[in-house]
Amino acid sequence: MTQFQNNRSLSMAFLLGAIGSYSVAVGAGLNTDVALSPPEGGTIFRLQWRYSKLSNDPTPMDRDVTLSINPLTIVHGLTADLAVLGTVPFVYREMEPAAGAVMEDADVGDIPLLFKYRFYQNDQLGVTTRWAVLGGVEIPSYDEDFSSESFDPIIGTVWTHQRRDWWVDWDVVYKFNTAGGPTGDDVLRGDTAASIRFLGGESEETGPWALYGIGELNALYITDGSTQMFLSPGIQFITPRWILEAGVQLPVHQDLKSSRLENDITTILSLRTQF
């Protein structure tokens, strides 16, 4: 396998680990999507800092990798039920082989552009259940390290049930990699998230606010046979205009093929605001 292919595989490993970055903007979860969209004409911005350590390189290079990924996500409500969302992942990678100099890269990864349509909604006092479908394409950035260099269709579905004191959501997303070749594997991702309100209140000055504890289970399947599962605990502080959230993503199962590196731990810090 060439160095180029190794880099691609490495990028795929990172992107798989961070695949949630395109699906997080409209959700209440750290890594998952939920069916709550911005209002018609409303826009949500989300900036994440995801800091990851990858290791256990199966190749003779025995690389240790540090990744810093800063996905900027913008979601805009076209109607109450239809939203468009795009994510630009800014990536910084530091790769340290067993022998040789440390290599650094910084660039932009592929840009997913998705439409989300909510086809089911059941609202009661303080309770909502929603179901939406996702569809779009991942636009290649043509970066030699962080891009599949192909337009990859994405489809998915997301379901959420939310109450004032807790919520759960579940999503499944499939990405068709049209690149072909050794790095052209499709990806299936599934997330289950649950959250409980620890503290909360409301006043005329600040409006409602709440502190939530969140736990997620993130699962990945790649068509080369690789599987990964992560547990992601975290906290969220939510106000009407801002969400500040922090958490970690811990691997609970990793069986990786094609010279992919294992994720050790990912630290997540995120800020959301809406206009």
Quote the least distance from Cβ 1 to other proteins, whole Å: 45
One DSSP character per residue, 84-151 reads: EEEEEEEEEEEEE-SSS--EEEEEE--EEEEEEEEEEEEEETTEEEEEEEEEEEEEP---TTT--SS-
* Residues binding other proteins: number (CB under 8 A): 38
Q: Angle 148-51-136 (CA atoms, 0-180°, nearest 5)?
A: 35
- Name the strand (E) or helix (H) holding 17: helix 3-17
Quote the least distance from Cβ 130 to other proteins, whole Å: 8
39 binds other proteins (CB under 8 A): yes
233 binds other proteins (CB under 8 A): no
Query: CB under 8 A: which stretch of 12-20, 84-92, 117-125, 183-191 binds other proteins?
Result: 117-125
Q: Which of 12, 15, 28, 75 binds other proteins (CB under 8 A)?
A: 28
Look at the alpha carbons of 30, 25, 253, 110 in this order and tell me if their dihedral is positive or negative.
Answer: negative
Which residues from 135-154 bind other proteins, rule CB under 8 A?
Answer: none
Half-sphere exposure of 222 (CA within 13 A, CB side): 25
DSSP 12: H
170 binds other proteins (CB under 8 A): no
Half-sphere exposure of 98 (CA within 13 A, CB side): 8
196 binds other proteins (CB under 8 A): no
173 versus 238: smaller Cβ distance to other proteins: 238
Q: Which of 12, 36, 75, 187 binds other proteins (CB under 8 A)?
A: 36
The alpha carbon torsion through 12, 16, 22, 28 (nearest 10 deg) reads -160
Q: Angle 167-17-2 (CA atoms, 0-180°, nearest 5)?
A: 165
Asked if 228 and 240 count as a contact pair (C-beta separation under 8 A), the reply is no
119 binds other proteins (CB under 8 A): no
29 binds other proteins (CB under 8 A): no
209 binds other proteins (CB under 8 A): yes
181 binds other proteins (CB under 8 A): no
Asked if 136 and 113 count as a contact pair (C-beta separation under 8 A), the reply is yes
Task: Give the whole-angstrom CA distance, residue 168 versus residue 43.
Answer: 23
Q: Which of 106, 119, 120, 163 binds other proteins (CB under 8 A)?
A: 163
Per-residue x/- mask for other proteins, residues 62 to 101, rule CB under 8 A? Answer: ---------------x-xxx--------------------
Please write down the long-range contacts of 123-126, taking CB distance under 8 Å and 24 or more positions apart. Answer: 126/163, 126/164
40 versus 104: smaller Cβ distance to other proteins: 40
164 versus 253: smaller Cβ distance to other proteins: 164
Quote the least distance from Cβ 170 to other proteins, whole Å: 17
106 versus 127: smaller Cβ distance to other proteins: 127
Interface residues with other proteins (CB under 8 A)? Answer: 28, 36-42, 77, 79-81, 118, 121, 123-128, 162-164, 167, 200, 202, 204, 207-210, 238-241, 243, 272, 274
